Structure 1
């Protein structure tokens, strides 16, 4: 194996989470070989350890296709050329770009019905699992989606979508666990789970989940894109309010509120619900305060709002108890899809930067609600910031006003529908929780924008100006 070429490929991949950090390539080990490959092709799953200078490490999944001859059709996916102990001299490609290689994954899911593959069927401990109720189309060609950051998704025709987890962690992947529960519960607000692929890691003796296969929502529209289109509609109509334009989004926001409430109810019915006491609430408030302190070093412009933010966090300590359960954990409009049958919520992995144990930890439903509320604030402000060309006097102020109007209308529609569907009767406590989670989210946004999109730092800061 050419460690130099493997390292170069990982370093340049969109899904690599260590960009900007100093790291070394550690152990690269083969954990599985996909059965059924034609002559001249060998398809493997490798796990590569990435060791950072601060002592931390991450594990990445590398699906590789070894060909005895160069493949011009996937030349763009060539990683390198080297001698492999099992495949001999080979031209090595990222297997997700290769339809012949991807057909082996699909065949693996199809071959084993609703039972896992016996260990003898594939080298290592690769295990395909299936849920009943859907027959896979084995004639479907694969298409790799572009533009994704932390994972890779491959569509099989119009039939199924496989998400391949690039950064993997021993243990249960919440995206699979939650989709399985919601699929078996008959939820109409997620893409149905068809199956998943995992292995038992010989080094840690724990399960590592590698991929999930689910319903492909081919005609779905991205919720973020729909929201942006609605805002542009409003900005194009100089004399109309948000409730008067043809692209008014409030009805969709309300339907999304109902969908989230129903998903939360299903999760509460099938995962444990805990009641956290005053001690746990104090720990929650203290964690938010600590994040604020760290954020002040990164974003000095937060300083004028520090007292107000601390007050919002401190009010949590007035609560006697808080219920927590399984939630989405990283919810925003970009994690939603609008289909002809309603809203679907996707990507239940939680915040990718957080450790797996933290992503699996129960939390308040109001964290999800706060994430969506902030997304309604982001959409119009992103469109306003993206406006180009000469502006007439007062045009920027008018656009800012209309952005606030759009955000307020859709926040209200979403929250009213969510609370009505949930039937919540403790509005005071919920208001304190939502307010604290919103403040915590804004602090997170300010740090993220300062580090990644300085041109957008005004969005979270504007939210603080409005609430101060």
Structure 2
């Protein structure tokens, strides 16, 4: 247990850093079939306990998925992925590795997706497969190193497997939404090829563990493209945003169309509901509570608090709001530009929210607000982090040009989105969008104050502009 505790605590995907915790239990929930003699490829669930600071409350628990490879002999090629050594009921003293680093173990995972077994010798791992794509079983696996909350493994240039590390019983929205959009023929997502469920007999629930999808190897990250456009603008001192070669407005407009089409597909295949005045009031109240909490973290918000509360209060003038399945955590970093257009990725919703809340229908204007804020962030990040821009006059000029780039691309995105939906941005939609934008800025201010104090000026600048 000590080996696992150390490994979990140091893992990039572990979300409990900085908190006191203990490893309460570890249990094997299934094995991937086909392992040869002297090897086992298993999935284990680790239950972590986080003691409450309130003596009257029980400890909080979280479940993490651990894909492990057990070998009877040490594997020098996997020395970098060694977790430890402990006794196994079949192998005796086993050398245990993170299976996602092991190409031989990943080949067994891929084979199970290609031909889902009807049962496994141990546990109830249920591999699902959508028709229409033949997997390349000869492709070598490569574990991506940059992710935080999950782990992704590419199989050559053919497919990509996302392994959910922190898991919760129930439907994972990333899988559910990708399945619906894939089956609907959407061109704005990476096609879903399959997914892995655990039928957990201990709790009589289903936990979704992984998804296999199209690998968009040649795609460009939307955030990186936006930053490159800003740098092109800043390099041309005498040109405006619509005059430089790297003008992004066309891409922003195409992204607005893509989001509108995704929202339309989601509305056609998931429930669309109406929130009444009381529920809208609850939404306003929740935003007000987040502001109250944020004031303790970011005192600079106090100068804008009255105006923010007025923005939230206008929600109470609305009689009804239509809600549906949305992305829930949309920004430029959740988009990919391919030769066939924009793709939207990672439909898990805001990772910090409970699963039940992430599955709830919401207004499409939450997604729109997230993207608009991302268009504001990109130029201001370049202005803040660019070298050699320390003089006051040059900083002022960069701030002006950042605002110009942001305004142009926000407008292009929003105009294209509303045009594709076939509706103008009416008073009710404007009220919703303003409230979601304000709520997002407050969230950003808290995040930057806690994680990147040097960037706190970005959300605060947005509040200053609307004063």
Shared fold, TM over 0.5: yes
State the 1:45 CA deviation. 0.1
**3-state secondary structure, aligned to 1:433:** helix
What pairs up with 1:80-159 in 2 under 5 angstroms? Answer: 80-112=84-116, 117-119=117-119, 121-159=120-158
Deviation by residue 1:355-396 (Cα, 9 ceiling, x = unmatched): 000000000000000000000000011111111236445100
Distance in 2 (alpha carbons) for counterparts of 1:413 and 1:87: 61
Q: Which residue of 2 aligns with 1:25?
A: 23
Match of residue 375 from structure 2 = 376
* Pairs within 5 Å for 1:234-273: 234-273=233-272
Which residue is 1:64 aligned to?
A: 68
SS in 1 for 2:95: strand
Structure 2 match to 1:360: 359
Paired residue for 1:282?
Answer: 281
Q: Cα deviations across residues 330-353 of structure 1 (Å, max 9, x unaligned)?
A: 000000000000000000000111
| Counterpart selection for 1:10 from 4, 8, 11 | 8
Indicate the residue corresponding to 2:55 in structure 1: none
Q: Does 1:351 align with 2:350?
A: yes
Name the counterpart of 1:443: 442
Deviation at 1:39, TM superposition (A): 2.5
Partner-residue secondary structure (3-state), 1:100: helix
Inter-partner Cα distance in structure 2 for 1:201 and 1:399: 55
**Distance in 2 between residues matched to 1:253 and 1:200, nearest whole Å:** 42
1:425 is displaced (CA, Å) by 4.4
Paired with 1:64 and 1:188, the residues of 2 have a C-alpha distance of: 35
Contact 2:418 2:425 in 1 (8 A): no
Distance 1:122 1:34 in 2: 9
**Counterpart-to-counterpart distance in 2, 1:36 and 1:382:** 49
Per the TM alignment, residue 90 of structure 1 is displaced from its structure 2 partner at its CA by: 1.2
Moved over 6 A (4+): none
Say whether residues 1:204 and 2:208 are aligned partners. Answer: no
> Can you give the 5+ residue segments of structure 2 that lack an aligned partner in the other structure?
53-58
In structure 1, distance between residues paired with 2:447 and 2:89: 44
Q: What CA deviation, in whole Å up to 9, does each residue of 1:292-319 have, x standing for no partner?
A: 0011111111000000100000001111
Provide Cα deviations, 1:54-89, integer angstroms capped at 9, x if missing partner: 211110000001111221212111111122223321
Residue 111 of structure 1: how far off its partner (Å): 1.3
In structure 2, the residue matched to 1:74 is 78
Which residue of the partner structure matches residue 310 of structure 2? 311
Cα RMSD, aligned residues only: 1.0
Deviations 1:139-184 (A, max 9, x none): 0000001110000000001110000000000000000000000000
- CA–CA separation in structure 2 for the residues paired with 1:354 and 1:111: 35
In the TM superposition, residue 453 of structure 1 has moved relative to its aligned partner by: 1.1
Query: Cα gap change, 1:122/1:425 in structure 2, threshold over 3 Å: closer, same or farther?
Result: farther
Gap regions ≥5 residues in structure 1: none
Provide the secondary structure at the position in 2 that maps to 1:43.
strand
Q: Distance between the aligned counterparts of 2:359 and 2:392, measured in 1?
A: 51
Aligned position for 2:37: 39
CA distance in 1, matches of 2:342, 2:213: 16
Match of 1:407 in 2: 406
Per-residue deviation at 1:38?
2.1
CA distance in 2, matches of 1:445, 1:390: 24
Q: Is the 8 A contact 2:389 2:395 kept in 1?
A: no
Equivalent residues of 2:192, 2:214 under 8 A apart: yes
2:226 maps to 1:222: no
**Aligned ranges 1:149-188 → 2 under 5 Å:** 149-188=148-187
Q: For 2:35, what is the secondary structure of its paired residue?
A: coil
Q: Per the alignment, in what secondary structure is the counterpart of residue 123 of structure 1?
A: coil
Q: Residue in 1 aligned with 2:56?
A: none
- Partners of 1:393 and 1:460 in 2: CA distance: 20
CA distance in 1, matches of 2:39, 2:234: 54
Cα 1:368–1:122 change in 2 (3 A) is farther
* Offset, 1:424: 2.0
Is the 8 Å Cα contact of residues 228 and 246 (structure 2) preserved in structure 1? yes
Deviations 1:256-306 (A, max 9, x none): 000000000000000000011111110010010011001111111100000
* SS in structure 1 of the partner of residue 211 of structure 2: strand
SS of alignment partner, residue 185 of structure 2? coil
